[in-house]
Amino acid sequence: MDFDTELSKCRRRRSRNSAESTVDRCVKHVRKWGEWLTDTRGKQIWNADSVDLLIFVEELTDRGMAPSTISQRVSAISKFYQDMEKMEERYDMPDVPENPYDGFDGEDKQLLRGDTKKKAGLADVTQDKYPYLTPDEVSDLIDSVPSPRIRNELLIRLLFNCGFRRTELATCKVEHIDREDKSIFIPPQKSENSRVVSYNEEYLGFQLSQWLDYGGRESMTYAEDSEYLFPTNRNLHISGNSLNDMIKRAAEFAGLQESISEYSDGRNINRVTTHTLRHSFAMQAIRSGIDVRTLQSLLGHDDLDTTLIYLQQSKDEAKEESRLFNPEG
């Protein structure tokens, strides 16, 4: 298929029922999607999946794009795939791709509504820019994981040891792990550049070996057909939503979870999520003496100012702790 040709067909179809300006905006949104896929993910619009679209939404959110604009862009992309499906028989189009938006779950769709309420809730309850867990609390979280234990322990240890984003870990491939070098390659996703992070063999080596060498991974239905580190019984790789749900359940069992606010539909906003472990990694790294430039590289931040927030938070906490010091005992 040729992208411009198929986009023109969809444009003509939309023009029958929509204003020209509306159609122009839709075409512009779809072109942006196609360009981003090629430049960032090395893909064509025909083989994009829901993970690609989720990363795209997260990147637009990080850039500060308004939720309403992001929603318009995703809607235009979804309609493009819907139009191709409807035109399949008329134009005898082969291999019509699936709509990436169909793979979005409830939590993924929350990104399209913005997260200002969540950020406000975190500020009200924790007084911190980033909520995080101490190493002892992470240990409690690990002790409380649901089954399968080896897999879920390994997931948490990787998040805390390496600072993965949830989509990065969910789509991590076996070939990306260098067990001799004790390092993991993370392809470009939200950042323009790839990165390599090291892991501590003593911290997670046993769980990694159990998962890869002693039947943990192979017990999953899709293991044989999957190139990913964490296949499941339903899919080639675990979803970001499933990973997040597991973290939330473990936090509940460990007594670490807090409901810090509510969404407009009444659902709780939780303090401990997958991203909390990324924050925990960053705060532990700062306290261990890792310089901020190195931390920026390990986290995959394009903007140093984003990383500096962790340094400032650590300094603010140290200042607060010093106020409690009594030199007279």
The DSSP line for 74-141 is HHHHHHHHHHHHHTHHHHT-SSPPPPGGGG--HHHHHGGG-SHHHHHHHHHHH-SSS----HHHHHHH
Is 154 within 8 Å of 211 (Cβ atoms)?
Answer: yes
The residues, ordered by sequence, that sit 6+ positions from 127 with a Cβ below 8 Å of its Cβ are none
How far apart CA 24 and CA 131 sit, in angstroms, is: 42
Start-end ranges of CATH 1.10.443.10 in the chain?
123-321
Start-end ranges of CATH 1.10.150 in the chain?
3-113
Dihedral class, residue 166 (left if φ above 0, else alpha if ψ from -120 to 50, else beta): alpha
- Provide CATH code, domain 3-113: 1.10.150
Whether pLDDT at 289 is above 50: yes
pLDDT of res. 156:
98
Is 37 within 8 Å of 28 (Cβ atoms)?
Answer: no
pTM (2 d.p.): 0.63
pLDDT of res. 148:
95
* Mean pLDDT for the stretch of residues 106-112: 63
- Provide CATH code, domain 123-321: 1.10.443.10
DSSP, collapsed to helix, strand or coil, labels residue 228 as: strand
pLDDT of res. 79:
85
Whether pLDDT at 118 is above 70: no
14-25 pLDDT per residue, tens? 444 445 556 777
Is 134 within 8 Å of 287 (Cβ atoms)?
Answer: no
Integer Rg of the chain from CA = 22
How far apart CA 81 and CA 9 sit, in angstroms, is: 12
Residue bearing the bigger pLDDT, 186 or 111: 186
pLDDT of res. 128:
45
How far apart CA 327 and CA 228 sit, in angstroms, is: 55
Dig out the tokens for 124 from the structure.
């009200």
pLDDT of res. 126:
44
**Which helix (H) or strand (E) segment is 268 a member of?**
strand 268-270
Percentage of the chain with pLDDT > 70?
73
pLDDT of res. 8:
56
Is 219 within 8 Å of 225 (Cβ atoms)?
Answer: no
229-276 pLDDT per residue, tens? 999 999 999 988 889 899 999 999 999 998 766 544 455 667 898 989
51-97 pLDDT per residue, tens? 788 888 877 776 667 777 888 888 888 888 887 776 554 444 445 56
* Mean pLDDT for the stretch of residues 175-182: 97
Amino acid at 96: V
| Average pLDDT over the chain, rounded to an integer | 80
Buried b (16+ CB within 10 A) or exposed e, 164-200: bbbbbbbbbeeebbeeeeeebebbebbbeeebebebe
How far apart CA 220 and CA 222 sit, in angstroms, is: 6
pLDDT band at 210 (very low <50, low <70, confident <90, very high): very high
Whether pLDDT at 312 is above 70: yes
